Structure 1
Amino acid sequence: MFDPSNFQHFLEASPLPMWVYEIPTLRFVWANAAAIDLYGYSLADFQQMTILDIRPAEDRPEVAQLARNEDRIEANRSRVWQHLAKNGSGLDVRVTTVDLLPPGCGLRLALVEDVSSFTSMTRALEHMAKHDAATGLLNPGTLAHLLDAGLLGSHYEIASLRLQGLTEVSELFGSSVALTVAKEVILFLQSGRGGDLWGFQAPNCILVASAHAESLRELVVKASDFLEKPVPAEGSQWQIYLRCGLSRFPQDGSRAEQIIACAGLAARLRRVESNPAAPSVYTAALGERSRRRRRLAVELRRAIREEEIEVYFQPIVRAVENDGGTHLRKYEALSRWQLNGEPVPPSEFIPIVESVGLSKELLRLIMKRSFEVVTTLRERGLDCLVTVNVPAIASVLADLPDELLAFSERHGIRPDCIGIEVTESALIDDDAHWRKSFALLRYMGVHVAIDDFGTGFNTLSYLDRLPADVIKLDRTFIGQIFVNDRQALICASLIRLAHGLGLKVVAEGVEDEEQRQWLLKHGCDELQGYLIGRPISFSQVLDSLPASAGHEVVVAHDAVKAS
């Protein structure tokens, strides 16, 4: 029989809870004061209990089996358990045991260390590692791990719900406001749903994985309907728009992280004007386009650095015949690029240039070529005006006057021999930047043309303030002259309006004689298109020029236009 008096000082002096129990019955024999304080039981209470009584019911079979294990090393190995105090609260404890002497006495001493604070911290850190800190939803890595572990079975779909406008809310009003808005959306969408796995991918994407495809599509409709109206949060209303992409396992990838990426790609490439209740479903073709875009972005950086972008020139002529013929006055220079011998359409590579921040570098290359054109033609006795098309990017517009002046000084050419073309969006999107830049450009004598005129929503409201000499009617107007009477009326009205403001008009995309005659009848000043001539190389331009000096040639380089 265990005599505590032999160990009284040791047991009572220990700051850690300790007790002795009988191995066969698992009944407590002794507990020290620290154990009584921690668990809330008196010594008499302990002696009426077994070690199973302080364990959750689900742990008791394992505890009993280990306690009676004949392998003493395994039975006495230190372990972390959950214990129950007298008041029902849970305790996380590390229990280390040792069999008492003499051997075979059937008694075991337990040393207990309260690790509740440590385990709470550990659980908090594990939660932080597995969840998005802002929303509390699973992070993409944890979501992928659970899906790969088969939590939703062998077939599932993932919806990537991008909350367009949430990033702007954060930038303008703070991250706490954006978080509140996101939580309102999440709370609404999660109501009444079960069996899904939810995640969040910063800064604005809710991820939902479900084994039930139809249910997931119903969730997309629910989200679309909810976001039709502003989201109420922080005492205000916030307009958020939905862009949704769907992907499927195993059709779209062998790992969950691939499925998540595919859903996100489908959402990002979704057309803004598409019906938000009809999600964009990932396809192999969509993935291939994305991979090609990434490859082109890398190659474009190299091509611009190594000056592989070529310039072709398309003639622009006066609409009114002079001296018995139509005289060439201008060329629009169009960017051309070949990758591994295959041409890449400008409509494909120009948007990539803008999206990856290469517009300024490409513009510098084009300006360099344009100044070289002016120099070469002037050496042949030809008076030239070169117009460079400038992207609608604030930083590019802000630096443009200094860039032009530097090139002008380097080549010994007056700035008024250079002009620019700029789209309407540059004027509409960033009023402050273009006003300052254009004031400097006009002071330098730079000619200005407004490209793709008529395609912007606010064209007429800006027309009286456009710092331009020329407007270029977009090819969409010209192509519809004999197809749509309303378009023809608009086109004729724009020509009259421009002339009333003292602006010249250039028609782009003229492809047949009937269009040319119509434009001539309505007073269009200049024409450009396949009817007039296709883009040609600079050497071909030189071969086509008349030998006589004094002929005015205007070369307009389109650095950013996807023609």
Structure 2
Amino acid sequence: MGSPLSLLVVESDTQEVFRLIREIKTHGFSPLYQVVSSWKDWEERVVEEDWDAIVCSMDWQDGKTPQDLLSDLREKKLDIPFIVVAKEAVLGNALQVMRAGAADIIEYSSLFRLPLVLERERRELVYRREKEITTNYLGDSLREIQFQKFALDQATIVSITDASGIITYVNEKFSIVSGYRKEELVGHSHRILKSDEKTLEEWKEMWEVIQKGRVWRGEIKNTKKDGTFYWVDTTIVPFSAQDGSIFQYIAIHHDITDRKLAEDQLTHDAFYDSLTGLPNRALFLVRIEQKISEYNLSSKGFPIVVSVNIDNFKRINNSLGNGSGDDILRIYAKRIESVSGSNATVTRLGADTFAVLVVDFLSLNEANDFANKLLDYLKEIIPYNGYEIYLTASSGIAAFGMAGKEAEDILKNAEIAMFHSKESKIGTVSIFSQTMQEKIHYQLEIQNDLKKAIERNEFVVYYQPIYDLKEKEIGHWEALVRWKHPKKGLVPPVDFIPMAEDSGLIVPLTKYVLDDSCLFVNEVSFVTDKVSVAINLSAEVFQHQNIFHWIVDVHNKTGIPFSSLQVEITESLAMKNMNETIPILSNLRDLGVKIALDDFGTGFSSLSYLEKLPLSIVKMDKSFLNNVVPGSKEALLLISIIHMAHDLGLKVIAEGVEDKTQFDLLADYKCDMIQGYLIAKPMALQEAKEFMQNFKPIS
């Protein structure tokens, strides 16, 4: 039979109660417990028994908080250990409960600690009650009983000093805890324990209290003989002679090291990053505020924040695993610290983003030089488990004054500048400007309006024709969505497509484009019976895996042939998960839907996956047409790509064709189709029908 334990559990979830009790029983306890699920239950049951401990969930809700329960215990003058269990996400709030008087905080992933803490708190509860009895007894019997009898209580740490503070007696427990032999302590003052955490003023106040014959209570941090420290909750009782003079003091100490360590750990977790040990965002903002205050007082130490984000870090986690990713982040943290110097504060803001607070620079140019030096160092190869890891980083700079006068504003603007670098050219440094702020506001407005735009049918699909060089006719079109904003006018796709992908709105938007494209096929088929429309698929839509069912449904509803539809995927989408990509594309191809690889040449451009994917068409990015003249290296590359695609049985579309010279070259190089402003800009449905009726082959 396990050790009996009287327990009050404050928890609304029955399953969590069973989980807690099961954990306690597995460690040899035989708990007798009651469950509190409401304030009314609490009022009735907290006074029913002499509970060994109270275990309270941070998720318990009945209009009262754990702090309210602690306050109620104090009002009822009940000394019961109060232990809080909390999820990792609310540990910051749990810290307030600790400060309100909780004995310990236990995270749900560390429930194995609960039985250990219960045993510790039960033991400390016995100690406290014995100490209270001892202390009260001492106070009542100061002139009646010899002080030596009280020092024999082995449940507490006891020391006796004379009026000047010289130790005249310590009990055995004092020696065990401190590591000093009795002979090494007697004859010395308590300074031998190097209690340095209190100021001289605090020690002076303590002496004033006890020299006036009053009892002093407080917490003291002492140093053991081996150099480690321990905390004691101390009560010092002065003894006075018949003339009123103090002639000696009895100090009763209770070891509270475990509780203090738990508090320190909780405080550390609230302000430091658990992975790198660097200050987290909360502490970093405090440091910025401190430097701002110092600068305002002395005009020295100009605060500048440099934000740093690792480019494409997800590929490390995806390829090597999250554990390896964590190792690389620790290496990055050390590198940033080594370059930043001792006067800087380095933080990990979260995920793969860091920041540095510097105060040694007199200008933004100096800060810019520092950021570039930092990025150059971070680019150096990282040897790791047989791999050579190469990563770049992008950076943003924001300075006090120009980028705001509050810590939150400066840090936010440094991150804005960093994101500007990533959008412009990864691996570079940008200094915050008001233009960036305006761009962010614009993007936020676009993001907020995006969902409403779908609901209000503010989107329209434009169609760009694709010219068949061999047949000399228009047989293909690409569907391109446009947003007609009621206030901002025509919003470019580059401004809203990424946001639609991030928010998941790209899924209904793509469905809308598919439906409209089918209407387009039916309308244009009256002009020509050779028509197909290409629809761009983002990774989000593809992963949704409904595109196959969408196309089948729209075929059944509209009757358009599957061959009139073409889906375009990017290289990055194709490479993301080949095991899932190939079956979906193969099913679409089996229906007769054409599969095109868009923007070929801007990604990995691997021949091996070109062979594996069930493609029909390769679309060459317009960058391949730059500087192309007969006989040039660029021309040879262009010819090679076209021949390679033909050898694989694929047709080639050249994008971005804008002049007749490019047209003639592509015709000579046996390119299959061209798309670009030379043929026509994207156009609405009615304009497209008129274009088809009036179109003449290009000669």
TM tier relative to shorter chain: 0.7 to 0.9
Which residue pairs with 2:235 in the alignment? 96
Equivalent in 354, 357, 363 of residue 206 of structure 1: 354
Which residue pairs with 2:105 in the alignment? none
Which residue pairs with 1:136 in the alignment? 277
Residues in 2 aligned to 1:162 and 1:537: alpha-carbon distance in whole angstroms? 41
Task: Work out whether 1:82 is the aligned partner of 2:221.
Answer: yes
> Is the CA contact 1:317–1:330 (under 8 Å) kept in the aligned structure 2?
yes
Which residue pairs with 2:461 in the alignment? 311
Once the two structures are superposed, residues 449-507 of structure 1 have per-residue CA deviations (whole angstroms, 9 ceiling, x without a partner) of: 44445555627666667755555554445575579965556556766776777765555
Once the two structures are superposed, residues 215-239 of structure 1 have per-residue CA deviations (whole angstroms, 9 ceiling, x without a partner) of: 8667645544544443234565433
Residues in 2 aligned to 1:255 and 1:487: alpha-carbon distance in whole angstroms? 52
Shift of 1:106: 2.0
Which residue pairs with 1:6 in the alignment? 146
Which residue pairs with 1:390 in the alignment? 536
Residues in 1 aligned to 2:188 and 2:611: alpha-carbon distance in whole angstroms? 93
Structure 1 runs not aligned, ≥5 long? 552-563
Between 309-318 and 160-169, the greater mean CA deviation after superposition: 160-169
Shift of 1:337: 0.3
> Is the CA contact 1:52–1:60 (under 8 Å) kept in the aligned structure 2?
no
In structure 2, give the amino acid aligned to 1:240: L
Between 129-138 and 44-53, the greater mean CA deviation after superposition: 44-53
Matches within 5 A, 1:37-436: 37-39=176-178, 48-52=187-191, 54-56=193-195, 59=198, 61-62=200-201, 65-69=204-208, 76-85=215-224, 90-100=229-239, 104-107=244-247, 108-150=249-291, 153-154=294-295, 155-164=302-311, 167-191=314-338, 193-213=341-361, 220=371, 223-234=374-385, 237-271=388-422, 276=427, 279-317=429-467, 329-341=475-487, 342-376=489-523, 383=529, 385-391=531-537, 393=539, 396=542, 398-427=545-574, 431-436=578-583
Between 154-163 and 59-68, the greater mean CA deviation after superposition: 59-68
In structure 1, give the amino acid aligned to 2:434: A
Match of 2:205, SS state, is helix
> Is the CA contact 2:501–2:538 (under 8 Å) kept in the aligned structure 1?
no
In structure 1, give the amino acid aligned to 2:481: S
Residues in 2 aligned to 1:199 and 1:74: alpha-carbon distance in whole angstroms? 50
> Is the CA contact 2:597–2:615 (under 8 Å) kept in the aligned structure 1?
yes
In structure 2, give the amino acid aligned to 1:293: Q
TM-score (norm 2): 0.65
Shift of 1:22: 5.1
Distance of aligned partners of 1:118 and 1:74 in 2 relative to their CA distance in 1, 3 Å threshold: farther
> Is the CA contact 1:507–1:524 (under 8 Å) kept in the aligned structure 2?
yes
Between 93-102 and 422-431, the greater mean CA deviation after superposition: 422-431
Residues in 2 aligned to 1:468 and 1:42: alpha-carbon distance in whole angstroms? 84
In structure 1, give the amino acid aligned to 2:561: R
Percent sequence identity is: 23
In structure 2, give the amino acid aligned to 1:347: V
> Is the CA contact 1:181–1:232 (under 8 Å) kept in the aligned structure 2?
no
Residues in 1 aligned to 2:613 and 2:319: alpha-carbon distance in whole angstroms? 30
Shift of 1:404: 0.8
Shift of 1:131: 1.2
Distance of aligned partners of 1:38 and 1:505 in 2 relative to their CA distance in 1, 3 Å threshold: closer
> Is the CA contact 2:218–2:233 (under 8 Å) kept in the aligned structure 1?
yes
Structure 2 runs not aligned, ≥5 long? 1-141, 296-301
In structure 2, give the amino acid aligned to 1:195: N
Shift of 1:310: 0.5
> Is the CA contact 1:180–1:234 (under 8 Å) kept in the aligned structure 2?
no
Residues in 2 aligned to 1:508 and 1:37: alpha-carbon distance in whole angstroms? 83
Residues in 2 aligned to 1:481 and 1:181: alpha-carbon distance in whole angstroms? 42
Distance of aligned partners of 1:267 and 1:11 in 2 relative to their CA distance in 1, 3 Å threshold: same
In structure 1, give the amino acid aligned to 2:263: T
TM-score (norm 1): 0.78
Between 220-229 and 348-357, the greater mean CA deviation after superposition: 220-229
Shift of 1:544: 5.8
Match of 1:270, SS state, is helix
Residues in 1 aligned to 2:507 and 2:315: alpha-carbon distance in whole angstroms? 25
In structure 2, give the amino acid aligned to 1:127: H
Equivalent in 141, 147, 155 of residue 15 of structure 1: 155
> Is the CA contact 2:161–2:167 (under 8 Å) kept in the aligned structure 1?
yes
Distance of aligned partners of 1:133 and 1:331 in 2 relative to their CA distance in 1, 3 Å threshold: closer
Distance of aligned partners of 1:53 and 1:263 in 2 relative to their CA distance in 1, 3 Å threshold: same
Residues in 2 aligned to 1:275 and 1:311: alpha-carbon distance in whole angstroms? 32
Shift of 1:15: 2.4
Residues in 2 aligned to 1:165 and 1:60: alpha-carbon distance in whole angstroms? 50
> Is the CA contact 2:304–2:358 (under 8 Å) kept in the aligned structure 1?
yes
Match of 1:149, SS state, is helix
Distance of aligned partners of 1:32 and 1:422 in 2 relative to their CA distance in 1, 3 Å threshold: closer
Once the two structures are superposed, residues 19-52 of structure 1 have per-residue CA deviations (whole angstroms, 9 ceiling, x without a partner) of: 45455x3444655554455446677766634455
Distance of aligned partners of 1:152 and 1:210 in 2 relative to their CA distance in 1, 3 Å threshold: farther
In structure 1, give the amino acid aligned to 2:565: I
> Is the CA contact 2:514–2:535 (under 8 Å) kept in the aligned structure 1?
no
Residues in 2 aligned to 1:305 and 1:250: alpha-carbon distance in whole angstroms? 42
Residues in 1 aligned to 2:690 and 2:463: alpha-carbon distance in whole angstroms? 13
Match of 1:15, SS state, is coil
Residues in 1 aligned to 2:520 and 2:316: alpha-carbon distance in whole angstroms? 47
Residues in 2 aligned to 1:88 and 1:507: alpha-carbon distance in whole angstroms? 75
Match of 1:66, SS state, is helix
> Is the CA contact 2:210–2:236 (under 8 Å) kept in the aligned structure 1?
no
In structure 2, give the amino acid aligned to 1:143: F
Residues in 1 aligned to 2:199 and 2:572: alpha-carbon distance in whole angstroms? 72
Once the two structures are superposed, residues 122-150 of structure 1 have per-residue CA deviations (whole angstroms, 9 ceiling, x without a partner) of: 22222222211122111121121122133
Higher relative contact order (CA 8 A, sep 6+): 1
Aligned residues: CA RMSD: 4.3
Once the two structures are superposed, residues 36-73 of structure 1 have per-residue CA deviations (whole angstroms, 9 ceiling, x without a partner) of: 55446677766634455545467573355224426989
> Is the CA contact 1:184–1:233 (under 8 Å) kept in the aligned structure 2?
no
Residues in 2 aligned to 1:57 and 1:507: alpha-carbon distance in whole angstroms? 76
Match of 2:462, SS state, is strand
Residues in 1 aligned to 2:272 and 2:213: alpha-carbon distance in whole angstroms? 36
In structure 1, give the amino acid aligned to 2:553: A
Matches within 5 A, 1:15-34: 15-21=155-161, 25-28=164-167, 31-34=170-173
Residues in 2 aligned to 1:74 and 1:392: alpha-carbon distance in whole angstroms? 80
Residues in 1 aligned to 2:637 and 2:184: alpha-carbon distance in whole angstroms? 96
Residues in 2 aligned to 1:71 and 1:339: alpha-carbon distance in whole angstroms? 77
> Is the CA contact 1:158–1:248 (under 8 Å) kept in the aligned structure 2?
yes
Residues in 2 aligned to 1:302 and 1:273: alpha-carbon distance in whole angstroms? 29
Match of 1:150, SS state, is helix
> Is the CA contact 1:387–1:447 (under 8 Å) kept in the aligned structure 2?
no
Between 208-217 and 191-200, the greater mean CA deviation after superposition: 208-217
> Is the CA contact 1:162–1:267 (under 8 Å) kept in the aligned structure 2?
yes
Residues in 2 aligned to 1:194 and 1:483: alpha-carbon distance in whole angstroms? 59
Between 246-255 and 165-174, the greater mean CA deviation after superposition: 165-174
> Is the CA contact 1:318–1:328 (under 8 Å) kept in the aligned structure 2?
yes
Match of 2:560, SS state, is coil
In structure 2, give the amino acid aligned to 1:333: A
Report how many residues are paired: 540
